[in-house]
Chain A
Amino acid sequence: EAQVTQNPRYLITVTGKKLTVTCSQNMNHEYMSWYRQDPGLGLRQIYYSMNVEVTDKGDVPEGYKVSRKEKRNFPLILESPSPNQTSLYFCASGRAGDTQYFGPGTRLTVL
């Protein structure tokens, strides 16, 4: 089944404790992206990747890191999480210039 998977689905952590949210897709898509979704603000793009070893900042990259060492994986790293990073995170993938397919989301709470 073609899909985008994210892990974990739910995470509660404390300020400053490094964490990684994994994202994997099995559709051989070049393009992958991370978004955060907050009430009243919709989906905002954090980082995106056009292909392996190519990543770029989206609209809200501060406090996040990403890497794209393999085509199928695009982990989101929070080196020192803060409470304002409490949010619902979505990973997405797609062909360049085409629609994206979203994962199920990761709900992160930073205390």
Chain B
Amino acid sequence: KAGVTQTPRYLIKTRGQQVTLSCSPISGHRSVSWYQQTPGQGLQFLFEYFSETQRNKGNFPGRFSGRQFSNSRSEMNVSTLELGDSALYLCASSLQGLAGVTSSYEQYFGPGTRLTVT
């Protein structure tokens, strides 16, 4: 079974531009979550999509948005890029997602997209 794939793997953008990152989950997984990883802040949760609906979101500004398609593939968009947006963006998929206490929400991570903003 193919794992989680993310495209592109590396990206260089200029301040003020916008960027779209893509994530293809494991076949059959309906939940996709996005995370930002930086040396200073560590891993931070951005948002989770389940069956095309945003089910949860972290504490990020509105410049960060996402969506999920009917085939569960997800995209994340960052508008008006800032230098501080430079990070590794990780996508993770799971069968049932993060909602609920007793459900199995084991997450499988992709390799990430390394975004550099200059």
B and A form one assembly: no
- Measured CB to CB, the residues of A under 8 A from B are none
